[in-house]
């Protein structure tokens, strides 16, 4: 599978994360059948600029609920998540277990 093809699959999943919820890189990789590709999911999130329809990249965090990436990107993601009702203190999503969205449970593919 090419990177572009894989990225499109990732973007399709991320577009389905509801407002006010988050998921993890690993949960997306597992859902797509490549459980050890969480880093590759992260790389895909780094390529969302200009992609249409837009990809709500702010809703993807690491498995502990931490926002990762460059400092300026984290601040922007915090703002976007706050606007959706997700509380982030420091770089950590609060009440992570309750706002976590698992594509394996929520999507019927």
**What is the tens place of the pLDDT at every residue in 1-21?**
788 899 999 999 999 999 999
pTM of the model as a whole: 0.94
pLDDT, tens digit, for every residue of 27-72? Answer: 999 999 998 999 999 999 999 989 999 999 999 999 999 998 766 7
Task: Tell me if 34 is assigned to some domain.
Answer: yes
Q: How many domains does the chain have?
A: 1
107 assigned to some structural domain: no
What is the CATH classification number for the domain harbouring 77?
1.10.10.10
27 lies in some domain: yes
Q: What is the 3-state secondary structure (H, E, C) of the chain?
A: CCHHHHHHHHHHHHCCCCCCCEEEHHHHHHHCCCCCCHHHHHHHHCCCCCCCCCCCHHHEECCCCECCCCHHHHHHHHHHHHHCCCCEECCEECCHHHHECCHHHHCCC
Residue-range definition of the domain harbouring residue 52: 3-100
């Amino acid at each position: 599978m090419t990177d572009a093809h894989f990225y499109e699959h990732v973007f399709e999943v991320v577009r389905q994360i509801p407002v006010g919820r988050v998921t993890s890189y690993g949960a997306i990789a597992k859902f797509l059948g490549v459980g050890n590709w969480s880093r590759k999911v992260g790389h895909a999130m780094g390529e969302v600029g200009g992609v249409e329809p837009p990809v709500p990249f702010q809703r993807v965090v690491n498995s502990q609920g931490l926002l990762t990436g460059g400092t300026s990107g984290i601040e922007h993601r915090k703002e976007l998540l706050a606007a959706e009702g997700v509380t982030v203190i420091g770089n950590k999503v609060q009440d992570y277990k309750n706002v976590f969205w698992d594509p394996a449970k929520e999507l019927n593919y």
